A and B are shown apart, each in its own frame.
Chain A
Amino acid sequence: MRRWTRTYPVIAIALLAAAAYVLVPGTAWAGDEGKEAKTAKVGSAAPDFTLKDTDGKEHKLSEYLKQGKTVVLEWFNPGCPFILLHHEKQTTMNDMYTAYKDKNVVFLAINSTHSGHPNYGKDAEAKKKFKMEYPILIDAEGTVGRMYGAKTTPHMFVIDKGGTLRYAGAMDNDERGKKTGSEKVNYVRSALDALLAGKTVAEPETKPYGCSVKYKD
């Protein structure tokens, strides 16, 4: 009896630890180690993650942050017309990549489409077709997507070099892709410009637009 009372807490702790490992993958937090949060929140530490790209190469958010990078995440699905809008019809993303790649900014596309979906597995082809010079990370389980609360493709996130999420929302104010000149505001560029100038992001959250992220049910 006495031996069991000693053993129970040990088993309970082991079970809890196993449950935490299974249920909350990526419990480490990029900019604020030790603190736990279930989902990303603007103004708080961005949850850390490790995902493989289309070439099988691993990308870890906290590694980029250690290098002093500002990180842009783009939720991605090459079969979505809004992704085509920003990668084909307009070259929003490639233009942005070119403008910021030498300013210590890293771009990561993340595809959370589940493996049973007809659009799954087309990222390598899309990377070539869209002439993307930044990686597309595969998140078929949707773990990272759910952690960030990614709802649409595209859904954009900007993380400052200290690991704090500073912008979450739409690419711009032009979901129909018809605005021009000063009428059009690219929120990601505005956020990057503010952060690189050491300023506060004026519009830290907007409502994203696009196709739904095709999560595994």
Chain B
Amino acid sequence: MGRTGAVTLLHRPIRLFLVALCVTPFFASAPLRAGDDEYPGNAFVKPRLALEQSALVPGKTSHMAVVFDISKGWHLYWRNAGDSGMPPQVSFKLPQEVTVGEPQWPAPARHVEGGMLVDYIFEQQLVLIYPVSVSPQAATAKKLSITAELEWLVCSDKCVPGKMSVKSEFDVSPSAGPSRDAELFARTRARHPERWAGRSSAFVATWRERELVIDAPGATHLALYPFESDDNVYPEEMVTAGAAKGGRLRLTYPESATTARTIGGVVAVTRGGKETFHELRLTPAPR
């Protein structure tokens, strides 16, 4: 089914429903379901929107999250799902006074199946944090409405698709304090990787021919969650080589990696019982 077709078929009823909801404020924060028969995954994921601050402030940038609460025994996927699965897809319907930036993904967990494949997953909850900017022109508004259209694949021992729209009416105010979700944002940020600044404070990465060696002296456990790649540049044997006890991780990449612009991912380093997360981005030098 083509993109246009899918949008036309699936979104028209949602749009009509949205119009109906606008004149029915009582239901304004209810998730809009896109047909639970076609999307059995709606039963296992409860999405909502959350603000870090109590209101949107005109002329300021703050943070908004898409929160997916996941039923026990089920999981969603990271930006690189790994060998199987698919990351959730988010798009926003925004008033003209609002712009939303790129999401920050927390570090996932490794999930090995049948000794054959490794996926990067989230259990219980996935929180995607987006920067949200409000133009000064919004000063006269009392509320602004944001809708997120969400699609996901949720898996346990089987996989089912989900699709839902969530809409929130957020207060607009000249100033704002922490919201009741502020702690959720802080907790999520503890799993955001430290940005790559040409090097990392937590490890040394060396690229030699097709091998990436990550050294983190004193670490008791290391793991690499590789970024997704369209160029088939993906380390080999991730089931066995993607995580290791101790302070050294060795990963072999395919031949095509030697001509890639960048390779990398998120490195999870455990030291003194504490796990921290760090970006890694390298340009592989040709032989």
A residues apposed to B, CB below 8 Å: 79-81, 89-90, 117-119, 142, 145-146, 149, 151-152, 175-180, 205-217
Contact = CB atoms under 8 A, between A and B. Distances in A.
Nearest to B89: A176
B160 A177 contact: no
Interface residues of B, number: 27
Q: Is the interface of A mostly helix, strand, loop or mixed?
A: loop
Contact of A80 (B3, B89, B159): B159
A90 B5 CA distance: 13
Nearest to B155: A211
Interface centre among B113, B158, B229 (most CB of A within 10 A): B158
B161 interface: yes
Nearest to B256: A205
B252 to A, nearest CB: 15
Contact of A212 (B117, B160, B234): B117
A216 B116 CA distance: 10
20 contacts: A81-B159, A118-B157, A152-B83, A152-B84, A176-B86, A178-B1, A178-B2, A178-B3, A178-B6, A179-B2, A180-B3, A180-B4, A210-B84, A211-B84, A211-B158, A212-B113, A213-B116, A214-B157, A215-B113, A216-B114
Going nearest first, the 5 A-B pairs with the smallest beta carbon separation are A215-B114, A180-B2, A212-B84, A178-B3, A211-B159
A213 B117 CA distance: 9
B116 A215 contact: yes
A187 B239 CA distance: 26
A25 B161 CA distance: 36
Interface in B149-188: 151, 153, 155, 157-161
A38 B10 CA distance: 46
Contacts of A217: 114-115
Contacts of A176: 86, 89, 151
B3 A206 contact: no
B1 A151 contact: no
B206 interface: no
A212 B83 contact: yes
A214 B155 CA distance: 12
B254 to A, nearest CB: 8
B119 interface: yes
B158 A119 contact: yes
A29 B32 CA distance: 54
